[in-house]
Structure 1
Amino acid sequence: MAEQPLHEHMLANGLRVVVCEDHVVPLAAVNIWYGVGSRHEVAGRTGLAHLFEHLMFQGSGNVAEGEHAALLESAGATFNASTSFERTNYYETVPVSHLELALWLEADRMGTLPAALTQANLDNQRDVVKNERRQRYDNQPYGTAFERLCRLTFPAGHPYAHTPIGSMEDLDATTLEDCADFFGTWYAPGNAVLSIVGDVDPEAALAAVERYFGGLPAGPAAPAARPGDLGPLGEVRVERVDEDVPSPAYFAMFPLPGDGGADIEAAELAVEILGGGSGSRLYDRMVRRDEIATEVWAGVTRLVGGPSLAIVDAVGPDPAKIAEVLDEELARFAAEGPDADETARATAQAERGFLEQTETVTGLANALSANATQFGDPARVFSAPSRAAAVTADQIKDMAGRWLVPGSRTALNYGGAS
């Protein structure tokens, strides 16, 4: 995808706005990123960022409970939200004739959500989140693996040591006052980016944003997030997990460089070569050749305020053997680096991932908000393929030798021998 012209504007209250024309289909994607996620939570109140993702759909000053979703559904829109360590986003894709409806709804809950914060809504959505935790984490095979690995990887109290879903105990302890304080602290125009992509006239779209959002008070400046730096671990920490799972398995986590520099580009290519699908080194060794695993996968979670994270999942009858072979392949990769074909394939996969991420107005709007929020430059999204293509085999080898080495990971042993 060639770089597309962007129209940027900053409202007086601090809201950053990005508009990108795309006249292929008569749709408009509206996407808001708030710079708040689980890393901004305090001890004893984990899960608030994700809980707020749910509360934001329960009405606002001029929107009754249930009406937000009903209005968007009647307009033929698709909409959702998500929470991560570093941000919470809200998005809807509407027929372009309903763009102003989407903007009005987002502005109303940004400006007036506390009017709809009732004990009944809090109790209801707290139960929804707790049920989500049961279904997606606690009662799923391997469902708590990522959460366990984060606790093993990060020191207690570190901003990335807990995941966005939060704990049952903290959710139960959350009060209406906690919610009002959280909203007042983080849900301000100056802590948000609004992106609009689609069949729009930029000047008209910016005028509509000014009309609906311009009157909202700026609110306080967001507090500085706690430092999240973490280097290579320099040791292996293993936890045995005795759960009823379909098969023994071995899960590993490696800290990686934070997002934004050349090292993370090399790191992601290295992880792709090692475990990114059926053409990877780990799959070839563990599944095809040694037949010690039935599934192997590796991937990267990029983070800006702390280390990015590489995850390796392998399902097989002997987790100890999987760990042994993983060490051998990591050592070989760090010593030899990738060959030319592996580097080319990984680079092509990075470009494919970029195209998949941005091929729709919904995806492009989210990518623009992400890059504006995290790097201050929405247009940075368009340089993703060239950043990956600029990485050399020697850079991949050097990065692997510093971060992806046998003695630098945390791991979970499901059902194997101690």
Structure 2
Amino acid sequence: MAGPATASLGFTATTHTLGNGLRVVLSEDHVDPVAAVCLWYDVGSRHEKPGRTGLAHLFEHLMFQGSANVHGNEHFEFVQSAGGSLNGTTSFERTNYFETMPAHQVELALWLEADRMGGLLRALTEESLDNQRDVVKNERRQRYDNVPYGTAWERLVAMAFPEGHPYHHMPIGSMADLDATSLEDCRAFFRTYYAPNNAVLAIVGDVDPEQTLAWVEKYFGTIPAHDGKPVPADGALAPVIGEELRETVHEEVPSPALMAAYRMPADGTRGADAADIALTVLGEGESSRLNTRLVRHDELAVYAGVGLMRLSGTASVAMLDVKASGSGAVAAIDTALAEEFTRFAQEGPTPAELERAQAQLERAYLDTMATVGGRADELCRYATLFGDANLAFTALDRLLDITAEEVRAVAAERLVPDNRAVLVYEPTDDADENEEQVA
């Protein structure tokens, strides 16, 4: 058991480890009679094998389809009838499940999470697999395949991370791999990754720590650990791609667009915080440099933004998105981008820009930490990815400690032509002519 760490925000957290390896993070907050239960499993798309992409995300759905003592849709029904809310998400690096409950219903949420951690396989059938496979395939159609620019980030990620790299594919997976997934594939995946020693459980809010720990031990303590988790494939990469990768995509989209991905420093480093500030100055909000230049001044674009996708096991990624105001504008946008990035790399942010960007990021951080659900998620994140839940409480201090020179330096190193994968979208009126061309 780790002792309490007091944060500058006034919150404390303690970490406890059960005999089966489950790490439990408790943080009291008695302002409102609510509590959040958040469970992170250290499994995401980077852990998947070739030919079986999408399994981590598929399991996010299967986990809501019943377990040993909870049938069908009852997980939703139990939580919602108790006045709570719930969901789950999947990323490259983790899968999480969470409930926000009236404080007196925390035991119910813990029982539900333990029942599916310890007993999902008793309820997993070919029928439930087929049902959720179809749900995920339909989600892919609705969010990726059948919407304008829907596959842009999937294409860019595949360009920024080379073939064979564990981050080369998105968590949604491919249709072919989803079709090929068998019931035994799912059982093996669950046994390997959905074990207590591969998870972090955070409970935050109006709780009694002693009673809550007793419930955790009661419901989770008898679930056996699993020691067969393979070491994830190495995500190490060169800091820059080494050349510009560019593709032109002809699709039925509303307007031309230029989108790009840049490798950035890994999450958990000062470089990642400096990159976050740099991208906020350049592309977050109406006062950002890209919006000011491309949208308001030159009127080349109707939207221009760039943000950071933080990744801890490999390079983070800066995602640039510019929607052109008309045909023929992409070349001018490309020139303007090069000018803005070069100027920023030479001069860095002004004092006012640095202060404004740090204030924007501070507000986002405080908004997250203001809710019991947001705080529980951050505690799980830092415990899972960095080994210390209490780093969540000092993240803002580290961000505000970044200097203008660090911001300039990361831009000079990373926002360069030989470190970007570029997609140029050109509209076509004929949906039958959808094709990709390498420019």
TM range (shorter): over 0.9
Q: Which of the numbers 270, 276, 287 marks the counterpart of 1:268?
A: 276
Percent identity (aligned): 55
2:209 is matched with 202
Q: Deviations over 1:298-354 (max 9, x none)?
A: 110100001101011001122222112111111111111111111111111111111
1:282 is matched with 290
Measured after TM superposition, the shift of residue 222 of structure 1 is 2.4
Q: Which of the numbers 311, 316, 320 marks the counterpart of 1:312?
A: 320
> Distance in 1 between the 2:209 and 2:290 partners?
48
Q: Deviations over 1:122-167 (max 9, x none)?
A: 0000000000000011111111111000111111111111000000
Give the SS at the match of 1:407.
helix
Q: TM-score, normalised by structure 2?
A: 0.93
Letter aligned with residue 213 of structure 1: F
State yes or no: 1:73 paired with 2:80: yes
1:182 is matched with 189
Q: What pairs with 1:53-68 in structure 2 (closer than 5 Å)? A: 53-68=60-75
1:91 is matched with 98
Give the SS at the match of 2:137.
helix
> Distance in 1 between the 2:42 and 2:21 partners?
13
> Distance in 2 between the 1:2 and 1:98 partners?
26
> Distance in 2 between the 1:25 and 1:129 partners?
36
Measured after TM superposition, the shift of residue 416 of structure 1 is 7.0
Measured after TM superposition, the shift of residue 411 of structure 1 is 0.8
Give the SS at the match of 2:301.
coil
Give the SS at the match of 1:20.
strand
Q: Do the aligned residues in 2 keep the contact of 1:351 with 1:384 (CA within 8 Å)?
A: no
State yes or no: 1:352 paired with 2:359: no
Letter aligned with residue 296 of structure 1: A
Tell me how large the CA RMSD over aligned residues is: 1.2
1:402 is matched with 413
2:221 is matched with 214
Cα distance change of structure 1 residues 416 and 404 upon mapping to structure 2, 3 Å threshold: farther
2:262 is matched with 254
2:333 is matched with 322
> Distance in 1 between the 2:332 and 2:229 partners?
48
Give the SS at the match of 1:284.
helix
> Distance in 1 between the 2:215 and 2:34 partners?
16
2:390 is matched with 379
Letter aligned with residue 257 of structure 2: A
> Distance in 1 between the 2:160 and 2:417 partners?
15
2:434 is matched with none
> Distance in 2 between the 1:305 and 1:7 partners?
26
Letter aligned with residue 66 of structure 1: N
Q: Do the aligned residues in 2 keep the contact of 1:330 with 1:406 (CA within 8 Å)?
A: no
Q: Deviations over 1:3-57 (max 9, x none)?
A: 4111221000000000111111111100000000000001000000000000001
Q: Deviations over 1:61-116 (max 9, x none)?
A: 11111111111121111000000000000000111111111000100100111111
2:404 is matched with 393
Q: Number of residue pairs matched?
A: 418
Q: Do the aligned residues in 2 keep the contact of 1:320 with 1:416 (CA within 8 Å)?
A: no
Measured after TM superposition, the shift of residue 386 of structure 1 is 1.1
Gaps of 5+ in 2: 1-7, 429-438
1:242 is matched with 250
1:150 is matched with 157
> Distance in 2 between the 1:224 and 1:72 partners?
35
Gaps of 5+ in 1: none
> Distance in 1 between the 2:184 and 2:10 partners?
45
Q: Do the aligned residues in 1 keep the contact of 2:253 with 2:427 (CA within 8 Å)?
A: no
> Distance in 2 between the 1:225 and 1:344 partners?
39
Q: Do the aligned residues in 1 keep the contact of 2:48 with 2:55 (CA within 8 Å)?
A: yes
Q: What pairs with 1:221-240 in structure 2 (closer than 5 Å)? A: 221-230=228-237, 231-240=239-248
Q: TM-score, normalised by structure 1?
A: 0.98
Q: Do the aligned residues in 1 keep the contact of 2:251 with 2:427 (CA within 8 Å)?
A: no
Deviates more, 1:219-228 or 1:12-21: 219-228
Measured after TM superposition, the shift of residue 407 of structure 1 is 2.9
State yes or no: 1:339 paired with 2:346: no
Deviates more, 1:124-133 or 1:224-233: 224-233
Give the SS at the match of 1:58.
coil
Q: Deviations over 1:269-292 (max 9, x none)?
A: 011111111111111111111111
> Distance in 1 between the 2:156 and 2:72 partners?
38
> Distance in 1 between the 2:147 and 2:370 partners?
32
> Distance in 1 between the 2:137 and 2:320 partners?
28
Q: Which of the numbers 116, 135, 143 marks the counterpart of 1:128?
A: 135
State yes or no: 1:101 paired with 2:112: no
Letter aligned with residue 388 of structure 2: D
> Distance in 2 between the 1:373 and 1:257 partners?
19
Measured after TM superposition, the shift of residue 223 of structure 1 is 1.8
> Distance in 2 between the 1:415 and 1:99 partners?
52
Q: Deviations over 1:252-284 (max 9, x none)?
A: 100101011111111110111111111111111
> Distance in 2 between the 1:324 and 1:408 partners?
16
Give the SS at the match of 1:297.
strand
> Distance in 1 between the 2:140 and 2:265 partners?
29
